[in-house]
Amino acid sequence: MELCVVNQPIQEVPTDAVIVSLFEGVTVPTGATAAVDQALGGAIHQMIAAGDFRGRKNETAVLYTLGRLPARKVVLVGLGKAEDLDAERIRQAAAAGVRKAHETGAQTVATAVHGAGAGQVEARAAAQACAEGIVLGLYEYEGFKSRREEQRPPVSRVVLAETDAQRLAAVEDGAQRGRILAEATNFARTLANHPGNKLTPTDMAEAALEMAREFGLQCRVLERADMERLGMGALLGVAKGSHQPPKLIVLEYQGAPGDRDILALVGKGLTFDSGGIDLKPGEHMEEMKYDMAGGAAVLGAMRAIAQLRPAVNVIGLVPATENMPGGGAQKPGDVVKACNGKTIEIISTDAEGRLILADAVAYACNLGATRLVDVATLTGACIVALGHLATGLVSNNQPWAEEIQRAAAATGERVWQLPVWEEYKNQYKSDVADLKNTGGRAAGTIVGGMIIGEFVGDTPWAHLDIAGTAWEVSDVPYQPNKAATGVMVRTLAQLALNLAQGRAESGAAGRAPR
């Protein structure tokens, strides 16, 4: 899809549909909406006066232009109350508007930069949120149906119309950034949506290599023999029950050569989680094809970082494997040793995410990581705690946790921090090894996270549990329902951008938080 910015009044852009927005409670439209209303002879004003359009969040209406505009249709989208306007409202409204235009068969669309004139959100940020909403909102996973169901043609071109020439550069810049972030998110969504037989660890490694080639990143893939040499017994233990060979994907981005700081993004790449010998129940087991969504988020974030080029060094690691109950599978009671020498007693073979991440984060530290974030569909307990509305956050370092929250707040991806109290460690003490891989039902998300944290030493680390947010989110117009969301791609990329910004502001090499 083509996305561009023009310096032209929206009512003059020749497209199939034009999209303008309205705040709730406004009776006299302003800006682009007023210009379109005028061209329509006051039709929008009349709709509002008649109570047929209220401007509620993501409310849409379609008007026919009857030749008064070059466009055949006008889509009106509600922004909610003016005082509640923020980037997330704009992102959602942009998605709702463009999806409505798509539904009515429009292939080319012109849209106002919603909310840019209201003052609370800068033009650049508004344009970015708009572009994100559009590109995310129009995403569709192709799937494997042999006959495509009757469908509207895809939207091939979206034009952001900005009349204020002074704002044009900011709008262009914001739109470009928004598009990069949303396309990276869609890339992650597609990987996560692939069924387990279409995206094995080998396929995931190939996807990473191809992406790295396209966007100019270094990429290498550690094979089983490399893992054996490095002593990655925790990752290898999980892979034992599968015929698919495990892979450890390592991506490198050098945005600040000579700087000793390295941000490591580590994502769980479990391409299918059957539970292993502790086999999961059959109901909903198919959803475990999404168990590599954290890994996909890391690949997506690295893709965006490669394009946005922040002045920081970032490495991305994705341990990829299946968790299967084959004859060679590891068993409850087995003891494995991770590459940092720590031993783990396997209590549940279904608590495999923390095992593969243990080796991956320890390896990231060996590669020189000075700050870490891991992203994983780690625990069902996180869905119990936070539902599908927020990602769980567990960290060993409060300033670093707040840095993650700052990035998440900027992208509208909700993150909620959980406590890390010393006493929780008692839950995962083992009689025969340094620790065990589960700590019972209590505080499952915290304990799962803390077990990963045992493998980073003192390095500032944060763990993002996306079990509830990686798929199955409804009522957000830019999120597909019952499919992968690509959550955390934008937040991880934002984190790298913020670190680069902080580095620039401190005038020298960025300092790791203490």
Neighbours of 149 (CB within 10 A): 5
Q: Which of 241, 294, 353, 510 contacts ligand BES by CB under 6 A?
A: 353
SS3 content of the chain, % helix, strand, coil (to 5): 40, 20, 40
322 near ligand BES, rule: CB under 6 A: no
CB of 221 to Zn ion, least distance (A): 21
Q: Choose the binding region for ligand BES from 37-45, 65-73, 233-241, 374-382 (rule: CB under 6 A).
A: 374-382
14 in helix, strand or coil?
coil
Give the phi and the psi of residue 433 in degrees, each rounded to 5: -135, 180
Count CB neighbours of 186 within 10 A: 21
Question: By the 8 A CB rule, do 162 and 171 touch?
Answer: yes
Q: Which of 101, 298, 420, 467 binds ligand BES (CB under 6 A)?
A: 467
How many residues bind to ligand BES according to rule CB under 6 A? 15
Per CB under 6 A, the segment of 28-36, 40-48, 171-179, 347-355 that binds ligand BES is: 347-355
Q: Smallest gap, in angstroms, from Cβ of residue 307 to ligand BES?
A: 30
Tell me which residues in 256-315 interact with ligand BES (CB under 6 A).
273, 291
- What is the DSSP pairing of strand 247-254 with strand 313-323? antiparallel
- Determine the interface stretch with ligand BES among 176-184, 248-256, 375-383, 477-485 (rule: CB under 6 A): 375-383
Q: Which is nearer to ligand BES, 48 or 435 (CB)?
A: 435
Binding mask 266-305 for Mn ion (x = CB under 5 A): -------x--------------------------------
| Helices assigned H by DSSP within 197-320 | 201-215, 224-230, 233-239, 293-308
Asked if 291 is part of the footprint of Zn ion (rule: CB under 5 A), the reply reads yes
Out of 203, 322, 345, 350, which residue is the one contacting ligand BES (CB under 6 A)?
A: 350
Tell me the two tokens of residue 439.
């700590």
Lookup: tokens for 347 = 């209590």
Q: Decide whether 203 or 352 has the Cβ nearer to Mn ion.
A: 352
Residue closer to ligand BES by CB (options 183, 359) is 359
Residues annotated as part of the active site: 280, 354
- Picked from Mn ion, Zn ion, ligand BES, none, the partner binding residue 467 (CB below 5 to 8 A depending on kind) is ligand BES
Number of chain residues interacting with Mn ion (CB under 5 A): 3
**Closer by beta carbon to ligand BES, 5 or else 192:** 192
Which of Zn ion, ligand BES, Mn ion, none lies near 430, with the C-beta cut-off 5 to 8 A by kind? Answer: none
Question: What crossing angle do the helices spanning 444-453 and 353-366 adopt, rounded to 10°?
Answer: 30
Helical spans, DSSP H, in 149-260: 168-193, 201-215, 224-230, 233-239
Cα first-last separation, the chain: 44
Please select the residue that binds Mn ion; options are 37, 350, 359, 465, rule is CB under 5 A: 350
Rg (CA), the chain: 24
Does 322 bind Zn ion (CB under 5 A)? Our answer is: no
Structure tokens at 467: 């079990």
DSSP summary character for residue 468: T
Q: Buried b vs exposed e over 240-277: b needs ≥16 C-beta within 10 Å?
A: bbbebbbbbbbbbbebbeebebbbbbbbbbbbbbbbbb
Based on the shown chain and the rule CB under 5 A, indicate whether residue 183 belongs to the binding site for Zn ion: no
What is the smallest separation between the CB atom of 271 and Zn ion, expressed in angstroms? 10
> Does residue 393 touch ligand BES according to CB under 6 A?
no
The β-bridge relationship of strands 461-465 and 391-395 is antiparallel
The reply on whether position 80 binds Zn ion by CB under 5 A is no
Residues at the contact surface with Zn ion, assessed by CB under 5 A: 270, 273, 291, 353
Residues at the contact surface with ligand BES, assessed by CB under 6 A: 273, 291, 348, 350-353, 377-381, 438, 444, 467
Residues at the contact surface with Mn ion, assessed by CB under 5 A: 273, 350, 352
